[in-house]
Amino acid sequence: MLPRTQRQKEVLDYITRFLAKHGHEPSYAQIARHFGVSSKATIAKHIGALEKRGLIKRGHDDGAFTLAVNMGDVAADAVCEVRLVGRIAAGAPIDAIEDTEMICVPRFLLGRVRPERIYALKVKGDSMIDEHICDGDIALIESRNEARDGEIVVALVDQARATLKRIFRFGDEVELRPSNTQLQPLRLHASRVQIQGIFRSLMRPNA
């Protein structure tokens, strides 16, 4: 069963990534902070909806509240194949690699986007680490050539090098902004940047 709303999907994706990275579930406060929500009750509502749909289990462990993402019961028809087309830099832009193969992806990660509109890229680097997008992760990308300010995009720079960044526009310039406080954004003339897709979700191999 799939999440009912886009926000439920985003909450489920965040919990899944957090568990893979840290080995334990995030607190309601951490989830609320990640989404810029002041009320933990709002997060509790989304968690309750996901639990009703069988995607999350809630329990108590020695008095502490716990969450568990229920991926063990994913049906075969809830899995689809997408193209893994190469590497994408989450640091300085690197040359694209074309080594297309097909990989299996849980269907719910794609939301309402058709699988044929999704491709996958292996992340290299740590400039999106504050979004929990880590080196070696698999980024699922919707094939599009337009994006809103603030979206995470696959940007092709100078028709040669691909990078994964948040995009912002300033007149005739484009800023490709990392999610890592140790790194500086890349400001380029808009003519040098071509959007090739929008980040939609993430998988962590062998997590």
For 71-94, write each residue's pLDDT tens digit.
444 444 467 888 888 888 766 665
Predicted pLDDT at 153: 94
Q: Is 191 a catalytic residue?
A: no
Stated length of the chain: 207
Which secondary-structure segment (H or E) carries 200?
strand 193-203
Predicted pLDDT at 73: 44
Q: Is 165 a catalytic residue?
A: yes
Confidence category of residue 169, pLDDT binned at 50, 70, 90: very high
**Catalytic site residue from 9, 122, 127, 179:** 127
Confidence category of residue 203, pLDDT binned at 50, 70, 90: confident
Q: Is 29 helix (H, G, I), strand (E, B) or coil?
A: helix
Name all domains of the chain by residue range, CATH numbers in brackets. Answer: 6-69 (1.10.10.10), 76-203 (2.10.109.10)
In angstroms, what CA-CA distances link 145 with 32, 155, 165, 193?
31, 9, 14, 11
Give 113's strand partners.
none
Confidence category of residue 1, pLDDT binned at 50, 70, 90: low
**Catalytic site residue from 124, 165, 179, 201:** 165
Predicted TM-score (pTM) of the model is 0.62
Predicted pLDDT at 75: 46
